[in-house]
Amino acid sequence: MFRAAFVVSFFTLVSRVFGFVRDMVIANYFGAGSIADSFFIAFRIPNLLRRLTAEGALSAAFIPVFAKTLQKNRVEAFRLANNLLAVMTLILVLIVTLGIVFTPELLKVIAIGFTDEEEKFRLTVQMTRLLFPYLVFISLAAVLMGILNTLDHFASPAASPVMLNASIIICAIYLRESFDLPVFALVAGVLIGGVLQLAIQIPYAIKHGFIFSPVFDLRSELLRKVFMLTIPALFGVAVAEINMFIDTVLASLLKEGSVSYLYYGNRLVQFPLGVFGIAMSTALLPALSFQAADNNPAKMTETISRSFRAIMMLVVPSTVGLVVLRDPIVNILFERGEFDSVSTLNTGIAVGYYSAGLLGFVGVKIFVSAFYALGDTKTPVKVASVAMVVNIVFNLLLMGPLQHGGLALATSIASFVNLVTLIFLLRGRLGEIDGARMFRSFVLLTLASLLMAAVLYGGWEIFFQRGYTVLGLILSITTAVAVYFAAVWMMRMEELTDIVNSIRTKLRKIESKS
């Protein structure tokens, strides 16, 4: 599982780097004004639906059923997968059709603040309608990802987002002059990227033994089981994304640029979340599903504990680093062209408040995976409902005094409410959750991270005063990371040993193949 997580982390890292280049290109050409706001709202709608239809809820319900069936009957498991692909295609076409027809009504709910600006609203409607077909490609790609991950192949699904980011970058740079409004080059990039994300996984599915065959059986008990598990998971698995979406709705009521500040700030926080948290949860769900099928709660507890402790070792210092260096990072990545110093300051505020909830975002993904592996999609829904109420309450309380920063902080608070509740309830299911070891690791890692923060702050001040910006940031981070891992090593924490051993094993495999 750790080796699989390493593979996913590596390709996610590559994807995130391309993602930052993508955001730098968008920031340079379109800034953080009304046109950028319109694109981000239009892009967020199919992205949210994608997480609900496939990447989040459906995958979480499908993988445990597929894994259990695969253990018993490979032919039946492949029949289930083909049936799901066929039925999902029909459902997605219907959703896209309805979405295109009712886009104005949908945006009047989602971006109510745009309705007073006729031109901005019209542009958002146009882009949203054009982007809806992206949902079909990316959702089917997510189903293929679940199939490949269960078949113990993680590389191509993890690498597929690179296709999307590369497509947007190329179209933004080379096609923007081909449109009356240059922003439509971004729309073209998204659509092309969606096709590529689906196409790149098909050959690997065939290579790993998956046989594509036409199956359309609405009476299938296994398919019905997948959809029954999906229904409650539609809300539960995507609570963080839905909270972000609520932020967007409320941000549209604040000053111009607030939607973009939250978008860019969230993108920075998504970097460690994707590289560490999503990577681990992606590798974790198939492993836990097989353990749950074997009825082995003790093994599940050990797997969850080791995974969460390993993730904390990476996420806690990431949180501290983002808080300390939020303004320099935003400045170096985005401040050019239409993205000015005011945009940097406001985006930095969003980064700081979102970073506070990073451990909560990551932890939720890991512990929700445990419930899904157990075939329980209802409990995460109940917990997510509580977290959603907490998010809305704190949004309304904080958006006045803190503006868009209050929306980001409310999301972070809600994520920790979600995480703590899930841990408590999972302990009741498994009997033991290894809480003492997890808490001890958290305390030690926090101490090491505070030492790292002092090095980061001092190093950046020295380099910044001497005029070294990019180099100074790299040297500050490199030195601080070295100090952090030295402190962790001196504490003899087993989490570091787990990660080092998994990397060594993967490198040996690569060397043996070469």
Specify the pTM: 0.73
Contacts of 420 (CB under 8 A, 6+ apart): none
Q: What is the pLDDT of residue 59?
A: 75
242 has pLDDT over 90 = no
Q: Which pLDDT tens digit goes with each residue over 417-439? A: 999 999 999 988 887 888 888 89
403 has pLDDT over 70 = yes
With 0-12 / 13-18 / 19 or more C-beta atoms within 10 angstroms meaning exposed / middle / buried, residue 411 is buried
Sign of CA dihedral 253, 257, 260, 265: negative
Confidence of residue 394 (pLDDT cuts 50, 70, 90): very high
Q: Taking every pair of C-alpha atoms in the chain, what is the biggest distance, in angstroms?
A: 70
Residue 376 sits at φ, ψ, to 5 deg, of -110, 100
Cα distance between residue 508 and residue 506, in whole Å: 5
Distance of CA 176 to the CA centre of its chain: 28
Q: Which two tokens stand for residue 423?
A: 């841990």
Cα distance between residue 203 and residue 197, in whole Å: 12
State the average pLDDT for the chain: 84
Mind giving me the DSSP string for 207-262?
HTT--------TT-HHHHHHHHHHHHHHHHTTHHHHHHHHHHHHHTTSSTTHHHHH
Q: Which pLDDT tens digit goes with each residue over 2-11? A: 677 777 778 8
Q: Which pLDDT tens digit goes with each residue over 372-391? A: 888 887 888 889 889 888 99
Q: Which pLDDT tens digit goes with each residue over 181-202? A: 888 999 999 999 999 999 999 9
**Domains of the chain: which residue ranges?**
1-233, 238-431
**Residue 132 has what DSSP assignment?**
T
Q: What is the pLDDT of residue 423?
A: 92
Cα distance between residue 489 and residue 506, in whole Å: 21
For the chain, percent of residues with pLDDT exceeding 90: 26
Distances (CA, A) of 358 to 45, 185, 212, 307: 23, 32, 39, 16
Q: Which pLDDT tens digit goes with each residue over 267-312? A: 888 878 877 777 777 778 788 888 887 888 888 888 888 888 888 9
